Structure 1
């Protein structure tokens, strides 16, 4: 998800919205809720003086004081390993499964979660931290391998000033961006390497269906869509918004990005809420980790009030905890989509590779 949005400024998340489409819809198979007398294995473990390695994407961000408090309370020495964007992260986890990169992972999202679970990358863990019940609302059906930490909507963002200065109408929906009038204005990320990129691809498939999404991407390719390998390249380098000065007035980002672009009380960017895909980010203990109990402690920490409260202003996504308030300006500048695109994780799992292969042939070959 983003280290602005950190980048995840991450990643895509609020305490006042329940996720549709990424949690189990089967009332007969609810995600188990931790009982009051059920203690976390990490809670009883003596971790003082031990080390834990957290593998995450290159957008992860946490305040120094929040991290320092955790290290002091737990006795752990925390090291972070960041192999790349979220899509790259999952690929690396699978490739290094026999020699795990660390003990616990943060940043696998619902577009890649089923792949990681199927590959056996994660060990089961059921946290008992304060926000565990809230996290269960976003659980991957039939699995206890991943714990939801945050969520958001992956959406196209646009440069308000550019459209005002050029006199062009804002392309309020996906279909308009294939019009020749919008040639050369859109930058997105590669769905093979970027979780926001995959989320956007899924949004277009949900919007146009199996019979129409490929033609839509052919039209975008003809319209000179730019493709980068990571969210940070698209947002920080390509975006024409005042804080960045790139050449593309429409870029792929998050519904929660615009508050960070308010200058002197005036918004300079906005999200196109009809283009959104709901994204959830998870944490999980790596199978074969050297210190799994420390990894469990990290997950409990990420569900703590302190960590959850830090999520909005550091990773620009919504915390899963219902006990945490998001910044007041988000109501004005970062509303979530009323009807975001969603997709069953099983459908994603069954079709992801074929969809990415087809997309690559259309857009990059």
Structure 2
């Protein structure tokens, strides 16, 4: 635990231990924007501009974890009370012809221009900060055809935890497994197997992540309490705006 940064330790009793973390953020097709002489998005508010009409695909927060994370970004940025709320942002995004899919695979591999091999027509997608590195890895490329938007306040940090059930019949073996999962040996395998960052600060992420998986600046962080108190109401309100109005 000494090698895991304190900011990841959300349980003071250490019942759940941080194993890895990652970021949901916008990704865009570099070549698409270069060929048209349009500046790629640098902020989620850019998606509302006329020149970005019909360019973005997002995932439904009710059925997709990256979709949920992106909704959290908008809720954090605009709030749910006041003259302009996150629901107003989504109404404006809907008015700018955003496409909503049920899940990440359909969005990235079906609708995103770079991820679909040109079959899709959306050059902006909600994905992960590590997606450009994955493009290099899986397609054996010298550099990624995509880039992630890592500017302040435009990404959401997700932390994954591991723990042992209180009534586990194999308590000792389970604790040994947890120790192994947090060890540098296992943690250094996380980047190119799970496409997230290791929680252990002593674990090297490797050259691929160092070059192409930049950590976003000032990501959005909501507490578990904030998420638990608002998630269902926010999803229901989002659904009303995006799918029922």
TM-score (normalised: structure 2): 0.85
- Report the equivalent of 2:49: 179
- Report the equivalent of 1:326: 205
**In 1, are the aligned partners of 2:109 and 2:115 still within 8 Å (CA)?**
no
Q: 1:159-308 alignment to 2 at 5 Å?
A: 159-210=29-80, 211=82, 212-241=85-114, 244-245=117-118, 246-262=120-136, 264-274=141-151, 275-286=154-165, 294-308=173-187
Q: Report whether the alignment pairs 1:133 with 2:2.
A: yes
Cα distance in 1 for residues equivalent to 2:115 and 2:60: 24
Q: 1:117-132 alignment to 2 at 5 Å?
A: 132=1
**Other structure's SS at 2:150 match:** strand
> Which deviates the most, 259-268 or 352-361?
259-268
**Other structure's SS at 1:336 match:** coil
Q: Which has the higher helix share?
A: 2
Equivalenced residues, count? 234
C-alpha displacement at 1:310, in angstroms?
0.5
Cα distance in 2 for residues equivalent to 1:352 and 1:139: 22
**Other structure's SS at 2:57 match:** strand
Task: Give CA deviations for 1:196-244 in whole Å, capped at 9, x if unaligned.
Answer: 2221111111112223211001111222222223222222222211664
**In 1, are the aligned partners of 2:60 and 2:67 still within 8 Å (CA)?**
yes
**Other structure's SS at 1:364 match:** helix
**In 2, are the aligned partners of 1:255 and 1:273 still within 8 Å (CA)?**
yes
C-alpha displacement at 1:167, in angstroms?
2.1
Task: Give CA deviations for 1:24-44 in whole Å, capped at 9, x if unaligned.
Answer: xxxxxxxxxxxxxxxxxxxxx
- Report the equivalent of 1:106: none
C-alpha displacement at 1:287, in angstroms?
6.1
Task: Give CA deviations for 1:69-102 in whole Å, capped at 9, x if unaligned.
Answer: xxxxxxxxxxxxxxxxxxxxxxxxxxxxxxxxxx
Cα distance in 2 for residues equivalent to 1:223 and 1:215: 12
C-alpha displacement at 1:289, in angstroms?
5.7
**In 2, are the aligned partners of 1:243 and 1:261 still within 8 Å (CA)?**
no
Cα distance in 2 for residues equivalent to 1:306 and 1:267: 27
Cα distance in 2 for residues equivalent to 1:352 and 1:304: 33
**Alpha carbons of structure 1 residues 359 and 145: separation in structure 2 relative to 1, 3 Å:** farther
Cα distance in 1 for residues equivalent to 2:121 and 2:169: 46
**In 2, are the aligned partners of 1:150 and 1:280 still within 8 Å (CA)?**
yes
**Alpha carbons of structure 1 residues 233 and 286: separation in structure 2 relative to 1, 3 Å:** farther
**Alpha carbons of structure 1 residues 228 and 261: separation in structure 2 relative to 1, 3 Å:** same
Cα distance in 1 for residues equivalent to 2:102 and 2:16: 25
**Other structure's SS at 2:189 match:** helix
**In 1, are the aligned partners of 2:108 and 2:115 still within 8 Å (CA)?**
no
